[in-house]
Amino acid sequence: MKPTVKVFVSLLFIALGGARMAAQDPHATFNKPFPPFKVMDNVYFVGTEDLGSFLITTPAGHILINSDFETTVPQIRAGVEKLGFKFTDIKILLGSHAHGDHMEADALVKELTGTQVVVMEQDVPALSRMTPQGKPHPMDRVIHDGEEVKLGGVTLVAHLTPGHTKGCTTWTLKAQDKGKTYNVVILGSIGVNPGYILVNNKDYPQIADDYVRGFKVLRALPCDVFLASHSRFYNMPEKYAKLKDGGTNPFIDPAGYRAHLDLQEKNFKEKLAEQQAAAK
């Protein structure tokens, strides 16, 4: 067999293998396993290498932020149980924004736990269209900007930070570490995805104005501990490695929070300027 033919056959074999893997889990890229761990106090990471799912524990049951894909749920459940908690003790389910990689599995988690599903008002239309395997999207409580979600002495505040979706939500709460109280920010997202239309968007006419509003809200939030719906936003794997070494908790990172906002706002302004110029 000629070398070029061998290369072609090898590449074909790899491609077919990848296709089989994708068929087994269409979200395999998102669902790479990552160890569950305690971030601080009663805040735990139970997501994947890419997807940020968080368990907030309380004496009255627990709060889960982000159900992710339905294919992610077994990992989330295993992570919760590995940390010593019961998956069925999840009483409230929150979400970052109406994209499948964060809220597709709301119906499945409700089916497994009986949890109350809480959603932001502006994301209701998008969530209504999110019906995996024909399941209607549960919406037990519809909240608005600034509303609180309370359970077992723990209070989370919902901040509408729109743009990425109309109802994109950033959650804040307080947590303690070594006797000191910190402001925890769990960022929904403020990134501009490829293909987003920022100018003359008939489906979302105010998208650019909403991004501006979202950045303003996020910059006004006091942030000590930076977490987010995607692990790459806050360099989770690197911080996790440092966490195991002891010392100052690496998730206390207000500078990293500001740097992320700076980067995303720069990207937003550049894309907006490009699209405005093209529209002329």
Listed in order, strand segments (DSSP E) in 54-187 are 54-58, 61-65, 90-94, 116-120, 141-143, 148-151, 154-160, 169-177, 180-187
Q: Model-level pTM?
A: 0.90
Three-state secondary structure call for residue 224: coil
All domains of the chain, ordered by start, with CATH?
33-279 (3.60.15.10)
pLDDT at 203: 97
Tens of pLDDT along 70-96?
999 999 999 999 999 999 999 999 999
Tens of pLDDT along 121-178?
999 999 999 999 999 999 999 999 999 999 999 999 999 999 999 999 999 999 999 9
Compute the mean pLDDT over every residue in the chain, rounded to the nearest whole number: 92
CB atoms within 10 A of CB 35: 12
